[in-house]
Chains A and B, each alone.
Chain A
Amino acid sequence: NAGVTQTPKFRILKIGQSMTLQCTQDMNHNYMYWYRQDPGMGLKLIYYSVGAGITDKGEVPNGYNVSRSTTEDFPLRLELAAPSQTSVYFCASQPLSSGGSYEQYFGPGTRLTVT
């Protein structure tokens, strides 16, 4: 099992450019999440999905879009990059509750700089 994988690991974007952050999990988890983490801060939820075809906004969705066409993939789209989107982006997945466990499994992150 590779777990949760994210690509790319690093990216520098110019203001106004677009990009898609890829996230794939091979654990057949229903729930998937996108977070951003600014320096010295906790993680903030951008979008989440409870299953293929279902997505919903988190705490900080502005400037982002997501889709969930398969159980495995949950890409995050930035349409018009802004310096405020400079951050580390983490994707996570979670199985349907199993024995009361709500553990989320995180990918290694994508470090994005917008200049």
Chain B
Amino acid sequence: RKEVEQDPGPFNVPEGATVAFNCTYSNSASQSFFWYRQDCRKEPKLLMSVYSSGNEDGRFTAQLNRASQYISLLIRDSKLSDSATYLCVAMDSSYKLIFGSGTRLLVRP
């Protein structure tokens, strides 16, 4: 079983739609979680961190459910520029990052 699992997608949605990604992690000792965004053929960049019960940043909301060991990312009012791959990341007990394989999002006009 992979340590961090994501639906690879692609999620193909129209502009303005709301889309949600889920991610599960297997190591219950993981303390911190993140969503990174990766554009095609580019390096990953931090989108947002997910601490305790989750947090919101503009159109993006991240939630953490420790009991079920899953993290979610909600994107409201999708823009064309949101098209990218979203990587779910867990930090292990020695502060190393464990990456999921990513979920690809395509936002169409």
- Using CB atoms and an 8 Å cutoff, list the residues of chain A in contact with chain B: 31, 33, 35, 40-45, 48, 58, 90, 100-104, 106-109
For B87, B91, B96, which residue has the most chain A Cβ atoms within 10 angstroms? B96
* Per-residue A-contact encoding for B37-58, CB less than 8 Å = 1, 0 else: 0000011111001010000000
Output the least CB separation between A115 and chain B (Å): 20
Output the least CB separation between B1 and chain A (Å): 14
Which 8 pairs show the lowest CB-CB distances between chains A and B? A42-B99, A106-B43, A43-B99, A42-B101, A103-B46, A42-B100, A41-B101, A108-B43
For A31, A33, A42, which residue has the most chain B Cβ atoms within 10 angstroms? A42
Complex Cα distance A15/B51, Å?
A: 45
Q: B104 — nearest CB in chain A belongs to which residue? A: A40
- Using CB atoms and an 8 Å cutoff, list the residues of chain B in contact with chain A: 4, 8, 32, 34, 42-46, 49, 51, 87, 91, 95-97, 99-102
For B42, B43, B99, B100, which residue has the most chain A Cβ atoms within 10 angstroms? B43
